[in-house]
Amino acid sequence: MSNGSLAGKAYDQLFTHVFARTDPEWIHHKAFAALRAARPLTQRVVGAGVAGVGTPVDTMGLRFPHVLGLAAGFDKNAVGIDALAGLGFGHVEIGTVTGEPQSGNPTPRLFRLTDDRAIVNRMGFNNEGAEVVSRRLAARASSGRASDVVLGVNIGKTKVVPEDEAIGDYEKSTSLLAPHADYLVVNVSSPNTPGLRDLQAVEKLEPLLRAVRAKADEATQPKGVRVPLLVKIAPDLSDDDILAVADLALAIGLDGIIATNTTISREGLASDPAKVSEIGAGGLSGRPLTRRSLEVMRMLRGRVGDDLTLIGVGGITTPQDARDRLAAGANLLQGYTAFVYEGPLWPRRIVSGLARG
């Protein structure tokens, strides 16, 4: 048995007997702190297993070392970018970051559905705010110790900001964060901020994206660069609305679309319905998203042709899942829930599995 297999089995035992019996949000913070502390080791041992294995991807004017990245939500405050890169992620998307700091929704707000290899969250964009995160990213860049991982920055609306003031809120985040981002993502698809998903309607989305694009250009002019801009959409949009977003992205010169965010659907779950009901509201991520996220990716690629970068996320667990998403039209992939369930060697398994064909 390989060292990787032994380590994987050890993580499975740890997850089953410790993590799965512990408050998910508490264990997330503890495990993330341990990953950050172990960065020198993981970079040499784990990340080294990925280096040189994956095929580089050139898209949006950027070079990604391979297709797989970490989705937004894991590192909300940009505290562990390089530790996560050390595990072998080719890109790390931080956030969601809001214009103002906010504590998020009341706890408990993070739940596991282990029978479905899924997570339900209603975190509510808990983060330290754009000003704090901007300073942290600036300090990282000037430290001389930052990795060369591709950095995405995901921005969303502050909860207390009224919908008619949302554009100004996004503009504030953009001004502060775009200068530090390799690419920027407008998140209008989390189900945990009241009214946020309403911004996916094309008549509201167009002025928002145009404003963010203009503010990003203004903020990065001194660097002489153009930061790619993407929008992240929900799997719960109707097919017609998905195609409308695709048409809008082409019309206004967006660089890409991330498909998909979490779902509010609870259809087809293996978990005890009473447990699902007790958990209540929130966005569902993990294996149950696989089919719908794949469908959305096929629709988007069929609509936009080769003109946009598409990032596939949602229910990608195995190398075959990754292959299917790429075959459906994704340029890049992201994961989050599988990383939680499968452990720190998961990025290496996906990238190595893709390399083997």
Active site residues: 190
256-259/68-70 β-pairing: unpaired
Cis-peptide into 273, omega within 30 deg:
no
User: What are the backbone angles phi and psi of residue 323, rounded to the nearest 5°?
Assistant: -60, -40
Binding residues for FMN: 72-76, 96, 154, 187, 232, 260, 286, 315, 336-337
Binding residues for substrate: 76, 121-125, 187, 192, 261-262
CB count within 10 Å of CB 249 equals 26
H/E stretch holding 232: strand 229-233
Residues 6+ apart with CB under 8 A from 254: 209, 213, 229, 230, 231, 248, 308
- Residue 137 tokens, joined: 């990213």
Q: Which two tokens stand for residue 168?
A: 């100004």
Task: Measure the N-to-C terminal CA separation of the chain; round to a whole number of Å.
Answer: 22
- Helices and strands in the chain, H and E counts: 13, 13
Question: What does the alpha-carbon distance between residue 175 and residue 181 come to, in Å, rounded to a whole number?
Answer: 11
Type of residue numbered 127: N
Q: Whole-angstrom Cα distance, residue 112 to residue 120?
A: 6
Three-state DSSP state, 182: coil
What are residue 227's phi and psi, to 5 degrees? -80, 125
Smallest CA-to-CA distance from 205 within 230, 239, 228, 240 is with 230
In contact, 49 and 10? CB cutoff 8 Å? no
Residue with tokens 């929704």: 105
